[in-house]
Structure 1
Amino acid sequence: MSSCEVDAPWKGIARRKRAERDTAIPAVWKLDQKHLPKENREPENVLSVPDQCGILTAKDLTITSRYSARSLISAITSNHLTAKEVTAAFCKRAAIAQQLTNCLTELLFPSALQRAESLDKHLAEYGKPFGPLHGLPISMKDSFNIMGVDSSIGIAALCFKPAKSNSPLVDLLLSLGCVIIAKTNVPQTLAALDSNNNVFGRTMNPINRLVTAGGSSGGEGVLVAMKGSMIGVGTDIGGSIRIPAMCNGIYGFKPSVGRVPHGGQEVGSLYGDGRAAMEAVTGPIARSVQDLDTFLKEVVPRAEMWAEDCVPGNWGVGEMKGCGKNGNFVVGIMRRDGNCEPLPPVLKVIEEVKQKLTRVGNIEVVDIPTPQAWTKCQGLANRLMAANGATRMADLLEETKEPLAPWMQRRFKRSPARSIAEVRDMQAQRSSLERRMLDIWYQTDKDGSRKRKFDALICPVAPHPVPPIDRWNAVGYTSSFVLLDYPAAVIPVRRFDEGDLELGKEMGGPSLGSWDERNRQLWDEKITDRKVYLDTPLSIQVVPPKLHDFELCRMMDVIDRALSTTGRDSKL
């Protein structure tokens, strides 16, 4: 190793930053060595450790495990619980989650407790809550700016440079009465599906340490799965909300552009770059559809008042009728994107969901062939995501001589931004695909009128189960819906079990291309031990047309209830 590498500035910065984070955990919240994960690589599940370690009291366990977001707010505002004791319970559990999985970047426990105490005083003095989300403990992806706190996104050059103001969404959430207890880990460059960087290290999946926790909102997915936060706030451009939700067996919601404030974040690129090509969006990660709804119904109608990147939006109430006969719901099943053939357990769970939905009286299920337009979406999405170049991110890495993480070494390099003419041509292709995709949603009758064909699509989140670390393959099943600006969400269905292994049975049929070849390697027993997938979550993605965000939440509820009614994996 050269003296240059030994003395690289990023190393000292990373050591200081990790030490700052680690000392923020009070000694009484530190886990005994016997509860910490083993150093050797094993498929270890640590989800039960918070319940067994003795740090959380019986009341702490009840607070963090037994309430929905809405019932927890009700308990606080009716004086059955205080915001401070609720916040303390979640801070403790978040500290435990951090020690087990390395999911946090900024531990905001002192300021969170202070905030909770002020909310309790407000309730006592005025006899009414501060806002509709009074006392709700939440966490946020590291990219969100919180005044006085770093938004380093795991880059050494951005450490110890605290934000001078809040992101608009942070101000909105504080106005609603939320308590922000922590910020969470992300991948280097925010452009990987496994949350690992040189400053904070790798976030581990609490279900199985051999598989990915997902990215780029990987820390959020893990913290919510470990019940260290009621609701996590993530972002999504290629699947960065939905992929961590799938990996951790929870629910994730990617809205349409403009529904939730997104701007004012540190993303390692020049301000405004994202709006020139393909826009990322912000959305919630939670443990139930109801918790997603609790967040969105308060944020979406107010978003336009807080952020320049939002549109007026209402969040409906009550029941919703479907587009089928007599108001029945019509669900389309779309199994393939035409680029990566789903592995057998993915197709199996989609078929299981179809069969369960057909047994529900008010749901009609229709098979949808793969639209030709959808096969073109991933390639165009990839080109648009790279259209702005990587100059600032490359500059930040070079500033402290920070190397690329192993997974990024073959995937990231300094590149110039595309020309206006090139971006214009890509946006024209995008418009063409959007127009062609309308035909899967609407049919034209003999008089020229148009009618909706179905209420939502169900499709895979990925063509594979939760893969081993650093082996996530193509993102066409997620990035395509960002290109099209369709809201999209993830629902966990069941765990991968022995019956899904199909040992000795390989996939048939020709490869569809390089993406498909890499995907098939995840099922090839000469390359991958399929037993790594055991007990990991199998999920589905639910998608309606553009800007039908409220309908998506209602369809999620309809589908989720149908799956529960017809029998669901008790481990979820």
Structure 2
Amino acid sequence: MLSLAESITDAKQYQRVNVMDIPRTCGLLTNRELEITENWDVRGLLRVIAEGRYKTEEVVGAFCKRAAIAHQLTRCLTEPLFDRALKQARDLDLHFQRSGKPVGPLHGLPVTVKDSFNVKGVDSTTGIAHLAFQPATENSPVVDLLESLGAVVIAKTNVPQAVAALDTCNNLFGRTLNPLNRQLTVGGSTGGEGAVIAMRGSMAGIGTDIGGSIRVPAMCNEIYGFKPSIGRVPYRGQEGGHIPAKGRISLQFVAGPLARSVADLGALMEHIVPRAELFEEDCIPGRWQGEFPARLPGAQSRNVTIGVLRSDGLVEPLPPIARVLDEVAQTLRKTPGVEVVEIPVPPALAKCQGLAGRLMGIDGRLPLMDLIESTGEPLIPWLQSRMGRGRELTAAQLGELQAQRSAVEREVLKMWTLNSGVERRVDAIIHPVAPHPVPEIDRYNALGYTSSFVLLDYPAGSIPVRRFQESDLELGKHMDAPVLGSWDKANRLLWDEKTVDRRVYLDSPLSIQVITPKQHDYELFRAMEIIDRAVRVPPAKL
């Protein structure tokens, strides 16, 4: 007979629902549609479209069907744009038939965008009831940019209320569920993108990030996310209850891609970055190339130096997070052309999370709360204890915050030179995405591991490494390191066997974050290539 504890565990295991295979097995997609949606990366799909093997209309149609199936399983979409997308696809086919040439380098690529981006003729509610039934009058610049390259936007994807949570839930469209395990969070705020891309309902998507909103859903859905530096990807054209140009004076959101591989991230960024300055006033001139000391066949170059930053100094990573980071570090130490160094945690790093939070709230969140309260809409569970009315900062108070930010930036800058101050010694850093595994719904805890690198404006990406295994459970073993503070105490509740059944984490993805210095976005891409390739190669047999 099972004990009560065993019965509870069995019940929870029974509830662990993975829906990833349903699009393949449900019978709604033809073999041709399965081939289109499963057999290609971005460059491969673009190549076969350009060769005429697939018409754009059938490619877009296949992904629209798969996105619709993904939505029925996870509630990942807000605005299906299928009719609009199919018309664009037919226009692209007509152009190709007449000219024999694609419209642009992303000709026929089906993509999705986060709900906060405007698409003319449909809502951008950002999960706020007050903004429903107010269709946008023009596209966001990034939508225009994607379409100028030949991409086809097939849908907009779900976000948390006010794009303000790390769990995707709102009172208009409901909660987006994690297709890998519907007991766990899908992440936020770009959670709908995370789910639809994981389920291959889109080839790639564009999200936004200020507290981790690209990297967290990538972690939760076992895909890849790329938070660029400010000015690399057009961001303007967002809705959502903020004072005008808030980002210019506080903490600035950035836009960036999510995809199923590092190569797919690069396939978008190599065309977006050089053109971004033509579509938004504060985007900078850029080229998707640079000098990176990666060893290439026949080339002479120095080793790539990758630092290991094990903590943010505020929250201690839980054991499986510390373990997977160490595993990646050990793998890189065995990788030819790579040197691994330990990065002492800069004391100033622990200040970043608090500073980022205060800068996000410089307007007291008053315009946002006005919108939410105007319809009597309740706050979603994740926000109920985290968001409310505050006080607007004066210009003097804002200036003082920005002065503190500058001081933190100067201190943290030293970790790239290991205090030599003469030349850069560290090319990239690996770091946890979060100090805990993918948690249950509404239990995501620490923001500092992601929000700090928005404050510092360091490009950062997330890479899935492996799944959570039985050996990671350490049942009956507890953390004995001193508690660092309230955030650390809250984080440990996600490992305390009195407050969580650790078995809920089994088979969930474990990821790492890769970080490079400000404006070294191409170098981030190259570092992610090297690290991803290293962790994908199976260990040699002895």
Q: Same fold (TM over 0.5)?
A: yes
Equivalent residue number for residue 32 of structure 1 = none
3-state SS, counterpart of residue 450 of structure 1:
coil
2:431 aligned with 1:456: no
Aligned partners of 2:539 and 2:241: how far apart in 1? 45
2:504 aligned with 1:532: yes
Equivalent residue number for residue 511 of structure 1 = 483
2:538 aligned with 1:563: no
Aligned partners of 1:205 and 1:492: how far apart in 2? 15
Shift of the alpha carbon at 1:270?
A: 2.4
Q: How does 1:460-539 map to 2 (within 5 A)?
A: 460-539=432-511
Aligned partners of 1:261 and 1:326: how far apart in 2? 34
Shift of the alpha carbon at 1:408?
A: 1.6
Shift of the alpha carbon at 1:388?
A: 2.3
Match of 2:181 among 204, 208, 220: 208
Aligned partners of 2:96 and 2:349: how far apart in 1? 51
3-state SS, counterpart of residue 480 of structure 2:
coil
CA contact (8 A) 1:147 1:166 kept: yes
Q: How does 1:318-337 map to 2 (within 5 A)?
A: 320-321=293-294, 326-337=301-312
Match of 1:297 among 270, 289, 301: 270
Match of 1:315 among 271, 288, 308: 288
- Give the aligned residue type for 1:418: L
Q: 1:293 to 1:223 in 2, by over 3 A?
A: same
3-state SS, counterpart of residue 121 of structure 2:
coil
Q: 1:317 to 1:479 in 2, by over 3 A?
A: closer
Q: What does the per-residue CA deviation read over 1:153-175, in whole Å, with 9 as the maximum and x for residues that have no partner?
A: 11111111100011111111110
CA contact (8 A) 1:144 1:167 kept: yes
- Give the aligned residue type for 1:533: Y
2:310 aligned with 1:346: no
3-state SS, counterpart of residue 79 of structure 2:
strand
Equivalent residue number for residue 13 of structure 1 = none
Shift of the alpha carbon at 1:416?
A: 3.2
Q: 1:210 to 1:41 in 2, by over 3 A?
A: farther
Shift of the alpha carbon at 1:317?
A: 7.2
CA contact (8 A) 2:293 2:303 kept: no
TM-score, length basis structure 1: 0.90
- Give the aligned residue type for 2:473: L
CA contact (8 A) 1:277 1:388 kept: no
Shift of the alpha carbon at 1:328?
A: 1.1
CA contact (8 A) 2:293 2:301 kept: no
Aligned partners of 1:326 and 1:285: how far apart in 2? 31
Q: How does 1:247-258 map to 2 (within 5 A)?
A: 247-258=220-231
Match of 1:433 among 408, 413, 436: 408
Q: 1:39 to 1:509 in 2, by over 3 A?
A: closer
Q: How does 1:305-454 map to 2 (within 5 A)?
A: 305-316=278-289, 320-321=293-294, 326-442=301-417, 450-454=422-426
- Give the aligned residue type for 1:496: F
Aligned partners of 2:394 and 2:38: how far apart in 1? 51
Match of 1:174 among 116, 133, 147: 147
Which stretch shifts more, 258-267 or 239-248? 258-267
Q: What does the per-residue CA deviation read over 1:80-121, in whole Å, with 9 as the maximum and x for residues that have no partner?
A: 111100001100100000000011000000100110110000
Aligned partners of 1:198 and 1:528: how far apart in 2? 27
Shift of the alpha carbon at 1:39?
A: 13
TM-score, length basis structure 2: 0.95
RMSD of aligned Cα (Å): 1.7
3-state SS, counterpart of residue 433 of structure 1:
helix
Q: What does the per-residue CA deviation read over 1:38-78, in whole Å, with 9 as the maximum and x for residues that have no partner?
A: 99992100000000000111111111111011111111111
3-state SS, counterpart of residue 220 of structure 2:
helix
Runs (5+) with no aligned partner, structure 2: 1-10
Q: 1:397 to 1:117 in 2, by over 3 A?
A: same
2:211 aligned with 1:238: yes
CA contact (8 A) 2:56 2:89 kept: yes
Q: What does the per-residue CA deviation read over 1:114-164, in whole Å, with 9 as the maximum and x for residues that have no partner?
A: 101100001111111101100000000000001101001111111111000
3-state SS, counterpart of residue 430 of structure 2:
strand
- Give the aligned residue type for 1:474: A
Q: How does 1:66-85 map to 2 (within 5 A)?
A: 66-85=39-58
Equivalent residue number for residue 4 of structure 2 = none
Aligned partners of 2:146 and 2:153: how far apart in 1? 9
CA contact (8 A) 2:292 2:523 kept: no
Shift of the alpha carbon at 1:271?
A: 2.2
Aligned partners of 2:257 and 2:479: how far apart in 1? 36
3-state SS, counterpart of residue 493 of structure 1:
strand
> How many residue pairs get matched?
526
Equivalent residue number for residue 520 of structure 2 = 548
Q: 1:96 to 1:336 in 2, by over 3 A?
A: same
